[in-house]
Amino acid sequence: MRKPIIAGNWKMHKTLGEAESFYSDVQGRIPDPAKVETVICAPFPFLYRLVQLSEGMAPSVGAQNMHEEESGAFTGEVSPVQLKDLGVRYVIIGHSERREYFNETDDSVNRKLKSALGHGLTPIVCVGETLGEREEGRTEAKVSGQVKAAYAEISPSEAAGTVVAYEPIWAIGTGKTATAEEAGDVCRSIRETLSELYGGEIAEKIRIQYGGSVKPDNIGELLAQPDIDGALVGGASLEPESFLRLAEVASNE
Ligand SMILES: O=C(CO)COP(=O)(O)O
């Protein structure tokens, strides 16, 4: 059985005070970590403080991006060594907003994935199609190509501990969710791709999240799909009550 994983992606939201207050609101109220893994991927400037506040308890702390090098002359970037040193445990890699606005490519996603794994961070690897690609019937080809490119030269044992997030770009922040069946079908095709790459046993271990306008009232049907093991959540992760509700529904799956 794969344990569900609910990850909040705060994107470029909140001040430090708001982030602290979110943590104090949710702490001690997160459902049993044996039943659901919870993560908050916060802006870089808050990570140190949130790791301190979390004291190793749920929700864990994640970053939204990282550079693949350990150190160097890369103004404005943050390395996996720096994240690890702070106690950060997860990192989102290849979010569609990074691909769209910050020129991330399948190649850079692959380099970052290798580097995150090499430094003991748990990567959440994002893939997803545009509306145009969906309308042209190219969803599965696009997503499978992104998965293959991201996992190039990643060993089966490393791949087993990763998380894939399927986020159709047209469903992000738009209020339009893929239907549970549509999302489930693509997540199944991602698992088939992982199975081609690594065999069924490893593919069954890799958790696949859905992301794109996930809310407390639609997460239940999404998680009921056999290949959806969690959610990567933007807007609905910003409020403590809504994040708690998502975690609660997932803990009952
Ligand atoms: O991009 C997302 C999470 O990474 C999804 O954002 P929303 O949940 O706000 O649609």
pLDDT in single tens digits along all 253 residues of the chain? 799 999 999 999 999 999 999 999 999 999 999 999 999 999 999 999 999 999 899 999 999 999 999 999 999 999 999 999 999 999 999 999 999 999 999 999 999 999 999 999 999 999 999 999 999 999 999 999 999 999 999 999 999 999 999 999 999 988 887 899 999 999 999 999 999 999 999 999 999 999 999 999 999 999 999 999 999 999 999 999 999 999 999 999 8
Q: Kindly report the CATH number assigned to the domain that includes residue 36.
A: 3.20.20.70
Enumerate the active-site residues: 95, 167
CA distance linking residue 63 with residue 42, whole number of Å: 6
Q: Characterize the bridge pairing of strands 5-9 and 230-233.
A: parallel
Outline where DSSP puts E strands in 2-85: 5-9, 37-41, 60-63
Q: Is the CB of 235 under 6 A from ligand 1?
A: yes
- Supply the pLDDT for residue 1: 78
The annotated binding site for substrate is made up of: 9-11, 173, 213, 234-235
Cα 72 to middle of ligand 1, angstroms:
31
Reduced 3-state DSSP string for 155-208: CHHHHHCCEEEECCHHHCCCCCCCCHHHHHHHHHHHHHHHHHHHCHHHHCCCEE
Residue 42 has a CB neighbour count (10 Å cut-off) of 26
Ligand 1 atom with the smallest distance to the CA of 95 is 4
CA distance linking residue 2 with residue 74, whole number of Å: 37
Q: What is the pTM of this model?
A: 0.98
Cα 172 to middle of ligand 1, angstroms:
5
Q: Is the CB of 216 under 6 A from ligand 1?
A: no
CA distance linking residue 105 with residue 94, whole number of Å: 8
Domain that holds residue 244: 5-251
- Supply the pLDDT for residue 146: 98
Q: Is the CB of 64 under 6 A from ligand 1?
A: no
Residue 17 has a CB neighbour count (10 Å cut-off) of 8
Total tally of structural domains belonging to the chain: 1
- Supply the pLDDT for residue 2: 96
Residue by residue, DSSP assigns 209-248 as EEESS--TTTHHHHHTSTT--EEEESGGGSSHHHHHHHHH
Q: Is the CB of 37 under 6 A from ligand 1?
A: no
- Supply the pLDDT for residue 93: 98
Beta bridge partners of 157: none
- Supply the pLDDT for residue 177: 78
- Mutation choice for ligand 1 from 214, 237, 245, 246, CB with most ligand atoms inside 8 A: 214
Q: Is the CB of 10 under 6 A from ligand 1?
A: no
